[in-house]
């Protein structure tokens, strides 16, 4: 059994999500017999970690510091093993705009066949609006976006669907940009993909990585927004993904092929970024184009009672607490 520091809370926009994740992780680890040290991260964190000398850490921080490589680099500097991806990997996964370039580079280096697809989009910085006058060229979006309205406008970094807007007409674009830029200094404008929302949790590293049962997300809001993520009454989860959601009719062989496409896409993205231990890949099954469209990868997925990773772990038959116990062992032995 280990002395485990569970890092949670913090000062990001996602503090409340993080506290819920931390408490659920705490309960799971205590049920496996570990000594758990819950730490609401702040200015005294390093002092506390040096004094307490935990065997291993579990990061239940979300948003800045928890997912952008900050806390990971601190733990690496203090030589405290931790569950999850390295600081350099987290810096990449934190910026959603990097996904196409990272996956394309991985394909060239590995020679692996294409699996994942993603929406077409552009990324613009706040400085481009403030200092370079890019707002005057937004009329070009109608030429650049292959499918026209609606658009998705979102912060390049961040989670829990904060700052995301669905833009249905030109008059909605400016407010959506301001909303996104209130969360980050870069904004992504991309084609809106309609289809079935699916979350795939991935466990392990490299060729040994495997997926947990994919989860279909049926939100009662316009999309799986912050409100739906906070309140389980606004969303239904289906594990496994319903066959009828993937394909009309009863062609079971075709449905199985679609499931394999979805799983291969998640594994490709996880491996392309060099994630280790765990991640969650969010995508849309685009029935019109007959392909999975990856939206993002999350290297520090939510861990609350109603979060997708624990739900998938329990659906796998292994169980959330048992899987965390296994990941702690791996992290401790990795050192």
- Burial grade of 219 (CB within 10 A; 0-12, 13-18, 19 or more): middle
Q: What is the pLDDT of residue 145?
A: 84
pLDDT in tens, 19-53: 999 999 999 999 999 999 999 999 999 999 999 99
At residue 198, the 3 state secondary structure works out as strand
Distance CA 17, CA 333 (A): 29
Q: What is the pLDDT of residue 248?
A: 84
- Burial grade of 254 (CB within 10 A; 0-12, 13-18, 19 or more): middle
Q: Are 280 and 199 in contact (CB under 8 A)?
A: yes
Angstrom distances, CA of residue 170 to CA of 135, 174, 177, 288: 12, 8, 12, 25
Helices 99-110 & 252-273 angle (0-180, nearest 10): 90
Q: What is the pLDDT of residue 270?
A: 98
At residue 303, the 3 state secondary structure works out as coil
Q: What is the pLDDT of residue 162?
A: 82
Average pLDDT (308-316) is 97
Average pLDDT (276-303) is 95
User: DSSP character for 223?
Assistant: S
Q: Domains in the chain, please, with CATH?
A: 3-84 (3.40.50.20), 93-117+193-299 (3.30.470.20), 121-191 (3.30.1490.20)
Q: What is the pLDDT of residue 11?
A: 83
Query: What integer best gives the mean pLDDT of the chain?
Result: 93
The yes-or-no verdict on residue 224 having pLDDT over 70 is no
Answer whether the bond into residue 197 is a cis peptide, omega within 30°: no
Q: Are 235 and 51 in contact (CB under 8 A)?
A: no
Q: What is the pLDDT of residue 302?
A: 93
At residue 184, the 3 state secondary structure works out as coil
The yes-or-no verdict on residue 188 having pLDDT over 90 is yes
Q: What is the pLDDT of residue 328?
A: 98
At residue 232, the 3 state secondary structure works out as helix
Average pLDDT (74-95) is 98
Tokens of 76: 């690496």
Tokens of 9: 């809370």
The yes-or-no verdict on residue 230 having pLDDT over 70 is no
The yes-or-no verdict on residue 90 having pLDDT over 90 is yes
Partners of 58 in the beta sheet?
6, 83
Q: What is the pLDDT of residue 228?
A: 53
Q: What is the pLDDT of residue 146?
A: 76
Q: What is the pLDDT of residue 14?
A: 82
Distance CA 156, CA 143 (A): 22
pLDDT in tens, 136-174: 999 999 888 878 899 999 999 977 678 899 999 999 999
pLDDT in tens, 108-127: 999 888 889 999 999 999 99
The yes-or-no verdict on residue 292 having pLDDT over 60 is yes
The yes-or-no verdict on residue 75 having pLDDT over 70 is yes
The yes-or-no verdict on residue 223 having pLDDT over 90 is no
pTM equals 0.94
The yes-or-no verdict on residue 225 having pLDDT over 80 is no
Q: Which of 80-84, 157-161, 316-320 has the lowest mean pLDDT?
A: 157-161
**Which run of H or E residues covers position 89?**
helix 87-94
Q: What is the pLDDT of residue 167?
A: 95
User: DSSP character for 302?
Assistant: -
Residue 126 contacts by C-beta under 8 Å, 6 or more apart in sequence?
Answer: 181, 185, 186, 187
Distance CA 298, CA 278 (A): 9
Of 185 and 232, the structure prediction assigns the larger pLDDT to: 185
As a residue count, the chain comes to 335
């Amino acid at each position: 059994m280990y002395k485990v520091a569970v890092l949670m809370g913090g000062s990001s926009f996602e503090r409340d999500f993080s506290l819920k994740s931390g408490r659920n992780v705490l309960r799971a680890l205590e049920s496996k017999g570990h000594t758990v040290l819950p730490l609401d991260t702040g200015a005294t964190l390093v002092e506390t970690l040096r004094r307490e000398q935990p065997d291993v850490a579990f990061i239940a921080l979300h948003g800045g510091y928890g997912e952008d490589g900050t806390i990971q680099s601190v733990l690496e500097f203090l030589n405290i093993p931790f569950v999850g991806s390295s600081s350099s990997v987290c810096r990449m996964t934190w910026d959603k705009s990097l996904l196409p370039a990272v996956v394309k580079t991985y394909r060239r280096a590995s020679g692996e066949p294409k699996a994942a697809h993603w929406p077409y989009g552009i990324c613009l910085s706040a400085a481009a609006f403030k200092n370079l006058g890019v707002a005057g060229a937004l009329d070009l979006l109608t030429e650049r976006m292959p499918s026209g309205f609606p658009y998705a406008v979102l912060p390049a970094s961040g989670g829990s669907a904060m700052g995301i807007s669905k833009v249905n007409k030109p008059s909605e674009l400016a407010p959506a940009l301001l909303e996104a830029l209130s969360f980050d200094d870069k904004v992504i404008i991309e084609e809106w993909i309609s289809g079935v929302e699916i979350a795939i949790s991935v466990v392990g590293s490299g060729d040994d990585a495997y997926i947990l049962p994919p989860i279909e997300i049926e939100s009662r809001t316009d999309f799986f927004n912050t409100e739906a993520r906070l309140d389980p009454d606004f969303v239904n989860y289906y594990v496994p993904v319903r066959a009828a959601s993937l394909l009309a009719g009863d062609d079971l062989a075709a449905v199985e092929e679609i499931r394999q496409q979805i799983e291969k896409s998640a594994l490709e993205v996880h491996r392309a970024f060099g994630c280790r231990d765990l991640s969650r890949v969010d995508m849309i099954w685009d029935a019109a184009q007959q392909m999975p469209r990856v939206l993002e990868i999350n290297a520090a997925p939510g861990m609350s009672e109603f979060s997708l990773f624990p739900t998938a772990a329990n659906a796998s038959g292994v169980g959330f607490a048992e899987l965390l116990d296994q990941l702690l062992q791996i992290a401790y032995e990795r050192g």
